[in-house]
Amino acid sequence: MKPQPPVTRYAPSPTGRLHLGHAAHALYVWGLADLLGARVLLRIEDHDRQRCRTEYEAAILEDLDWLGFEPENAVTPDYRQSDSDAVYREALGRLRRGHNVYRCVCTRKDLAAHCPASGTGERIYGGRCRAANHPRGAPHGLRLEWGGGEESFEDGFLGPRKQEPARQCGDLLLRDRHGQWTYQFAVAVDDMRHGVNLIVRGEDLLDSTGRQIRLARLLGRAAPARFYHHPLVTDAAGVKLGKKQRSPALGELRADGIRPEKVLGEAARMVGLPVEARPLERLEIAATIAARHGMA
């Protein structure tokens, strides 16, 4: 098979305004794309309808444009998860043909009471509803029985990794009790259908990688994507910024007259790139990432 040209994506969830952490992530996505000659697609990950809002989607597009990050595509229904229900249903049908996908009526409370927690606090679903054959009428999620075994991959920044989905989360939830597709399922289906073969994202998503590789394989993906998990932003004391202690929104910085190069420089510094305290031009990003990660 001919090697496929690299395709990556920036996949924000429109649950709020972009902050410096998002700018640092965009910097890694477009910087690595420049280094590896990849196309960059933009995908709106709004599978969680309760938390996502359309006004944030518009603001994200504006902020990216201001920073100088240009995706290759416009956001059409194909690139917005809330418009892709038919695609996920088709993928679910494909999974069902070869694997046990079953109705699960367990609530959060049930999970807390009956499922052990993994090292990261995630509940490991051992298959409580696997053989129950619950009727369609009752509220239910859909889970995939996918057995044991490890998934190995070579992270472009972190090196070789092994993960065992059965010990991380057990049978995978594909759709929740409210009828919403889960992040893991939507992302694996989307990366596959969009031809994404280079995934650049924060280390906070590293734990998802083995399960997404496995899910993609079960969906019929021939070769897994290549993954690069980058560091997360930290404050001046080196402490990782959590969702609650976010820096000001990029839109506020823009309204205050701050230049995008200044914001990029600050985001780069906070994510540990070797830039000191100075503005960073869009065209310098690739070289900065190459220098930090020994890719020159």
List residues near ligand GLU by CB under 6 A: 11-13, 45, 187, 201, 205
Whole-number minimum distance, CB 47 to ligand GLU, in Å? Answer: 9
Nearest to ligand GLU of 28, 146 (CB atom): 28
Instruction: Tell me how far the alpha carbon of residue 34 is from its chain's centroid.
Output: 20
Residue 81: count other Cβ atoms within 10 Å of its Cβ: 26
* 87 φ, ψ (degrees, to nearest 5): -65, -45
Please name the residue that has the structure tokens 């249903």: 89
Give CA–CA dist 268/288, Å, rounded: 9
Q: Which tokens belong to 53?
A: 């809002």
Which residue, 16 or 279, is less far from ligand GLU as judged by CB? 16
Residue with smaller CB distance to ligand GLU, 13 or 168: 13
* Helix residue ranges per DSSP H, the chain: 20-36, 54-67, 85-98, 108-114, 165-168, 183-193, 209-218, 250-255, 260-270, 285-292
**Based on CB atoms, which residue is closest to ligand GLU, 103 or 229?**
229
> Least CB distance from residue 282 to ligand GLU, whole Å?
21
C-alpha pair distances (Å), 229 with each of 9, 36, 82, 117: 13, 15, 26, 24
d(CA 296, CA 277): 22
- CB of 28 or CB of 102, closer to ligand GLU: 28
Q: Output the smallest distance, CB 257 to ligand GLU, in A.
A: 28
Nearer to ligand GLU, 45 or 57 (CB): 45
Q: How far is the CB of 125 from ligand GLU (least distance, A)?
A: 21
Task: Give the nearest distance from C-beta 209 to ligand GLU in angstroms.
Answer: 9
Nearest alpha carbon to residue 171 among 204, 135, 138, 131: 131
Q: Which residues of 45-75 are buried (b: 16+ CB within 10 A; e: fewer)?
A: bbbbeeebeeebbebbbebbebbebebeeeb
- Cα–Cα distance measured from residue 200 to residue 182, given in angstroms and rounded to the nearest whole number: 20
Please identify, using beta-carbon distances, which residue of 15 and 100 lies nearer to ligand GLU.
Answer: 15
In the complex, what is the shortest distance from the CB of residue 45 to ligand GLU, in angstroms, rounded to a whole number?
4
Token representation of residue 183: 């992040």
Please calculate the CA angle 161-237-23 and round it to the nearest 5 degrees: 65
Q: How far is the CB of 212 from ligand GLU (least distance, A)?
A: 8
Residue number with CB closer to ligand GLU (41 or 273): 41
Q: Look up tokens 């070789």; give the residue.
A: 160
